[in-house]
Amino acid sequence: MSDSEPDEELLSLLRQSLGISGEPSSKSPATGVLEGAQHIYHNSIDVALDTYGTKAAAAQIWRLMQEKSYTFKTWSEHSLHPKGKDEATANFIFLMDLLNFCFWSESSDPQQRFAVEYQGQRWTGYWSLVAAIHRALDEDIPITTPSFWITDTECTDDVLKHVFRSATPELIPLLDERMTCIREAGRILMENFNGSVPQLIHQAKQSSTALVNLLVTNFPCFKDVATFEGRSVHFYKRAQIFVADLWAAFEGQDLGRFHDIDTITMFADYRIPQMLHSLGCLRYSPSLESRIRNLNELESQGSWEVQLRGCSIWCVELIRKEIRRQHPKAEVNAILIDFFLYDTMKDREADAVETIPHHRTRSIWY
């Protein structure tokens, strides 16, 4: 072997240490998410992918990720994400992703939207949920303990309303649905997994796709499925992000070790399509773009919404492939690209430089 040739054994060990398994297959047969996305992409008439825009975005994303030294360890650098590597962190992440949906506000006034005050700062969006969980734990409310969720005398509606109380007049969206998810998940964990999130994780035997399937099979509120052009398509946004957050929080070890982590796709929500459109990767039909710009809601699991979500998944897959084509040694997967795009979108939102609003759908799926 010449000095210029890569040491494949060393590369393999490096991938294992990072929790990345190398180049994933073009399909994800265990979950069907990628196949469904491809089906949506091939049959979509209102959302299209711009080939040149996607290639340019791939180069830009990789350059910025390198400049920022962006890895899965960046996840733990945020002040609100849990820092431990134990059962308490696994429980925290489970609750966090159980309720990781629908934070957008109908108010045009940022000061009026749902927000959580914690440690002297006001948090909105996804971070409002994470802050609310921390705040409850600080108040000695065992909100991340599954057995607590099914204790009728303790985990009452009033207690949960207190946990998710707002610093503004606007309540957290879909509060009733969130309370239903908590109680349903608590019952299932107690009945099927001895009330233990780690036991649920261990049953997957370090397979990310197996863990996703355990979630969507056992927990109805994780079964994120729709029908498009005569075919059932899977998105599994919150089930997949649970795996991704474990992988990042535990840095690919212990409860976060998955030998097939690269089979996880991006997490189809309302923020990433917005970012992909801003980057010139996605194009919308005039009717769909008009509806989004006018802040009109899209029907949950309707054709427009399904096209947006499916084409976003496929777009990120193409971006990942393009990065790997340009940089064969790049340790990158759809999870890291999604995390990076979301963080970048939040930065743009804070700086008020959004080029298009995100689409609006009220849903527990994202």
Give the residue numbers annotated as catalytic, written as ranges: 269
Distance CA 261, CA 15 (A): 11
Residues 6+ apart with CB under 8 A from 63: none
Match 């107690």 to its residue by tokens. Answer: 190
Which residues are paired to 5 by β-bridges? none
Residue 264: count of CB within 10 angstroms of its CB: 28
H helix runs in the chain, sequence order: 8-18, 33-43, 51-67, 87-98, 126-138, 146-149, 157-163, 175-192, 197-203, 208-218, 237-249, 271-278, 286-293, 303-326, 334-350
Distance CA 113, CA 46 (A): 30
At residue 225, the 3 state secondary structure works out as strand
* Alpha carbon separation from 45 to 51, 287, 345 (Å, rounded): 16, 11, 26
8 A C-beta contact, residue 132 and residue 164: yes
Distance CA 106, CA 357 (A): 12
Can you say whether residue 127 is alpha, beta or left, with left for phi > 0 and alpha for psi between -120 and 50 degrees? alpha
Q: Is 10 exposed, middle or buried (0-12, 13-18, 19+ CB in 10 A)?
A: exposed
Apex CA 70: angle with CA 69 and CA 73, to 5°?
Answer: 110
